[in-house]
Structure 1
Amino acid sequence: MLLLTLLVVLLAQGLSSLIWLSQLRASQLEGLVASARSLAHSMSASVSYFRSLPVAYRPMVLDQLRNMGGTRFVVSLNDKPLDMQVLPITPRKQAVLSAVGEVLRQRLGAQMDISLEFVSPQDLRIFNSGLKLDELPRSWAHYALTLEPVNPPILVTQIRLGEGEWLYIASLMPEPYTSLEDEGLPRQQVWFIGLTSFFLLLFIGLLVHWQSRPLKRLAQAAREMSLGADVEPVVEGGGSEVVEVGRAFNAMRERISRYLTERSQLFSAISHDLRTPITRLRLRVELLEDEQQQARFSRDLDELEMLVKGALQCVKETDIHENIEPIDLNHALDCLVEPYLASARVTVQGRALAPYPGKPLALRRCMGNLIDNALKYGERAHLRVIDSESGFVLQVDDEGPGVPEQRLEQVFEPHFRLAGQQQGYGLGLGIARNIAHSHGGEVSLRNLQGGGLRVTLSLPRSSD
């Protein structure tokens, strides 16, 4: 949200700044042309004055102007136009040259031979001798043509007055058009964009943090509730939508809690109600004189009792009411595999890096079921622990025949057994997966290429 907001702010500020800059440049160009026309009128007046003077008086007037200093123009008379290195033409320079040339030809006549060009102060020449600006007396030209340390371009106008007589006029454009360069965004505008973006992002960041705090509390409560912990009602806060989510979560929490309580009471009642008639039927079977009938009834009762015990065990094993606490998984695994280490039926590779927050008895039963299942159907169990910041992974490989690919998911169903398997209730993998799901994890199966089955228990670590 912050990145998208920053992008939108920068796009909006950039677009508005470009529009403002284009309008500013248009107004500056308009002012520049007006200043250039005013400068051209002054030049034409100076040219008209010199043309009105007798030829012999013109050098005398020039000497007086140089001795006074501080004039707007630097004027000289040369016998030919001076050749200097011209600056590259930019749109602003071209606008000035066009405006000045137009005014001069209007005031002096279209037949006048006029040369207009921009020259840098370093390449400027004023007399036929080719003296540089720095070589002249300061009162002659420096006050009119220097603006250190900017060194702006100098407009050089050379007008032919007669045969072998060229009037030379050098001048600067008036402020604020001295440099004649297209400037980018002013520094004040850049600071304005940066400050407004910073304060806007700061405000939005505080707003997002204020809105996300209730969501973080809701996520933590949902995780704890998924682990079976007794969760207090979530404090309803934040925006109206977030308050509505918190209210809905509290209602769901209350319904689930009521459902779990009713389910526990229901299975307790079923357990009590079923054990009594089964026991009563066993007593009656013992009174039968026909041994064959007695054996058949006993076998049916055994099967019925096994189904009842299996169902109750499934509920009991997956509904363990424990507090969530940090678990030393290394210690839990050591306790589970210790009885088999002497016979070399179990090997362990890798160690857990940090305690895992969960239900101790439930996770121990989950890993114990996976190890027992591998030993029961695969003779040996090879355990590999892979732990990282993202989660804990336990791989249990056996040396058994594996499971057909089409049965990999079916073996998690209660009471399901593969052909030739008659041990237990067929609940171990299902109970292990249910415990993993209650911790936000998963139990998956994969047949190994060299034979055997790999059971993987994956438990994610919370990012809180």
Structure 2
Amino acid sequence: MLLLTLLAVLLAQALSSVIWVAQLRATQLEGLVTSARSLAHSMVASVSYIRSLPVAYRPMVLEQLRSMGGTRFVVTLNDKPLDMNVLPRTPRKDAVIDSVGEILRAKLGDQVDVSVQFVAPDDLRIFNSGLKLEELPRSWAHYALTLEPVNPPILVTQIELGEGEWLYIASLLPEPYTSLEEQGLPAQQVAFIVMTSAFLLLFIGLLVHWQSRPLKRLARAARELSLGAEVDGPAVDGPVTEGGGSEVVEVARAFNAMRERISRYLTERSQLFSAISHDLRTPITRLRLRVELLEDPDLEARFSRDLDELELLVKGALQCVKDTDIHENIEPVDLNHVLDCLVEPFLSPLGNGTVTLDGRARRPYSGKPLALKRCIGNLIDNARKYGKRAHVRIEDGGKVFTLHVDDEGPGVPEQRLEQVFEPHFRLAGGQQGYGLGLGIARNIAHSHGGEVTLQNLREGGLRVTLVLPRG
């Protein structure tokens, strides 16, 4: 969110800066053209004044002007146009040259030969002899044509007054158009963009942090709820704190209501099956006593068989509820100790036991001790019961604890890999059991945020993988 916001801020600032610079340059160009036209009118006035003087007096008047300190222009009379190295053309230079040339031709006549150029101060030539600016007395031209340390380009206009007589006018453009360079973003504007972007990102970062804190609390509460732990709120064992935006508050409120309903449902379920266990065992026992009083052995056998099936169903249902019950405190579980207790009865000093164990858990796992023992025990028992041998292998990474249980049985058909997790489903009909082991193991894994999966091995047998995330 911060990266997208930063991108949006940069794009918005870039767009606004481009628009602002374009408008600034358009305004500056308009002001530059206006100044150039004003400068051209002043040139026209100077040309008209020089023209009004007798030819013999013109050099004398210009000499007196130079001796007095000159004017805003450096004006000389030459017998031919001076050849100088002109500066490369740019849009601003072209605008000035076109505007000055247009005014001069409009006021002096189209038949007048006019040359307008921009020349660098080092390449400037003033008199017929080609003197440089630095070779002249400072009072003659330096004050009018230099602006240290900028050294701006000089506008040189040469106008033919008559045959062998060219009026030379050199001048600088007025401020702020002296340099004629297109300026980018001013330093103040760049600083303003950086400051506004930094403040905007700071406030958005605080907003994201403020909104993400209740979401993190909600995620932790949901994770701990899956393990059956009480969620810490503002008070011990309290509900999730409702905070953040209105949508986050609604989610937290709905989560608290959902947790309350789940807790009430689990309590009622536990009470229900406790009542069922108590209420059904007594009549079944009475029925067995009455069956024993029957005189017909065949009828007694049929009644006994029906009562056995009924008791098997009751015990299976109660075992399913008991083994998947989540009413157990979360605490660090030493998985190595759990596995040692489960595997030890089946190990043989000669190495030909029905269970082998490879690998060790790096550190304790936060979970429900009895539930985890039932889960792993069911996986090992299934491997021994249906695959003759169980080969247990541990892969404990930094974030996930993985347990592989391989057997040497016939495996499970691919189309039945998910069906075997259903309650009371058994592939081997002749085996004893309720068909609940794998389903109970998967339910316990789910309550810890993990998973149990099945995979047929190429060399034969079935691999059951238990994955438990740490966190």
TM-score by length of 2: 0.88
After the TM superposition, which residues 412-451 of structure 1 pair with which residues of structure 2 at under 5 Å, given as runs? Answer: 412-419=421-428, 422-451=431-460
Q: Secondary structure at the match of 1:166?
A: strand
Between 283-292 and 81-90, report the one with greater CA deviation. Answer: 283-292
Q: Secondary structure at the match of 1:25?
A: helix
1:370 maps to: 379
C-alpha distance in 2 between matches for 1:327 and 1:77? 106
Deviations 1:71-108 (A, max 9, x none): 42233333332333332322222211111111112232
1:261 maps to: 267
Kindly state the Cα deviation for residue 336 of structure 1 after the two structures are TM-superposed. 3.6
The 1:362/1:84 distance shift into structure 2, 3 A limit, reads farther
1:247 maps to: 253
2:405 maps to: 396
After the TM superposition, which residues 48-447 of structure 1 pair with which residues of structure 2 at under 5 Å, given as runs? Answer: 48-69=48-69, 71-231=71-231, 232-340=238-346, 342=348, 343=351, 345-348=354-357, 351-419=360-428, 422-447=431-456
Q: Percent identity?
A: 82
Q: Secondary structure at the match of 1:87?
A: coil
C-alpha distance in 2 between matches for 1:355 and 1:85? 85
Deviations 1:211-234 (A, max 9, x none): 332232222222222211234222
Q: Match for 2:41: what amino acid?
A: H
Between 386-395 and 243-252, report the one with greater CA deviation. Answer: 386-395
Between 292-301 and 268-277, report the one with greater CA deviation. Answer: 292-301
Structure 2 residue runs of 5 or longer lacking an equivalent are 232-237
Deviations 1:192-241 (A, max 9, x none): 22222222232233233223322322222222222112342222333333
C-alpha distance in 1 between matches for 2:366 and 2:322? 21
Between 438-447 and 54-63, report the one with greater CA deviation. Answer: 54-63
C-alpha distance in 1 between matches for 2:391 and 2:81? 99
Structure 1 residue runs of 5 or longer lacking an equivalent are none
C-alpha distance in 2 between matches for 1:169 and 1:340? 113
Kindly state the Cα deviation for residue 295 of structure 1 after the two structures are TM-superposed. 4.2
Kindly state the Cα deviation for residue 331 of structure 1 after the two structures are TM-superposed. 4.5
C-alpha distance in 2 between matches for 1:152 and 1:208? 52
The 1:233/1:70 distance shift into structure 2, 3 A limit, reads farther
C-alpha distance in 1 between matches for 2:387 and 2:434? 18
The CA RMSD over aligned residues, in Å, is 2.7
C-alpha distance in 1 between matches for 2:314 and 2:321? 11
C-alpha distance in 2 between matches for 1:404 and 1:81? 104
1:34 maps to: 34
Q: Secondary structure at the match of 1:183?
A: coil
The 1:331/1:153 distance shift into structure 2, 3 A limit, reads farther
- Contact 2:227–2:326 (CA<8 Å) still a contact in 1? no
Q: Secondary structure at the match of 1:86?
A: coil
Kindly state the Cα deviation for residue 53 of structure 1 after the two structures are TM-superposed. 3.6
C-alpha distance in 2 between matches for 1:442 and 1:372? 18
TM-score by length of 1: 0.89
Kindly state the Cα deviation for residue 62 of structure 1 after the two structures are TM-superposed. 4.1
The 1:266/1:152 distance shift into structure 2, 3 A limit, reads same
